[in-house]
Amino acid sequence: MKSKIVFAVLFFFVLINFSTSVSQEIQNPKSKIQIHNPWVRVAAQGANTALFFVIENTGEKPDTLISAESKIADIVEVHETYAKENDMMGMREVKFVAVPSKSKVEFKPRSLHVMLIDVVKDLRIGDKIHVVLTFKHAGKIKVKAVVQEMPIMGGMKH
């Protein structure tokens, strides 16, 4: 009986530890660039989707996101959403994103995002994907993002 209780308690702690870490970023704790809350939208194989997160620069110097890469999609690009004429929205690739010192830059729906074009497999709720973000000074930062539904928002569909 006692061993069953010990096993149940250990299992519970392992489960909690695992569930709180699945969407955490894999990064160097000494880096001045940190990636928080990475998530990606659900998508079918061959479709496009987007990755969202927050970049935090805790350093004294600015840095620049210069690229993103992943094996989950044929093409990976950093995009921004912008207003076009007639209250329409559009998307375009950006070559870099400046991250000022002591600041955060949010990649979110209808704003900056990493576009994953032609995903190579279905992305279902709870799946995890790996993306590498490359910064001018911080170098490559590996990110593990969890797949989830897009929050309900009015207006433009991506």
> Concatenated DSSP letters for 77-120?
EEEEEEE-STT-EEEEE-S-EEE-TTEEEEE-TTSSEEEEEEES
| Residue of 37, 117, 103 lying closest to 65 (CA atoms) | 103
Average predicted confidence (pLDDT) for the chain: 84
2-148 is a CATH 2.60.40.1890 domain: yes
Residue 20: how many other CB atoms lie within 10 Å:
9
For residue 95, what are the β-bridge partners? none
Q: Where are the domains of the chain?
A: 2-148
pTM (predicted TM-score): 0.78
What mean pLDDT comes out for the span 138-144?
Answer: 97
- 114-127: per-residue pLDDT in tens? 999 999 999 999 99
Cα separation, 111 vs 91, in Å, equals 9
Confidence (pLDDT) at 84 = 85
Cα separation, 154 vs 9, in Å, equals 44
Confidence band for 86, pLDDT divided at 50, 70 and 90: confident
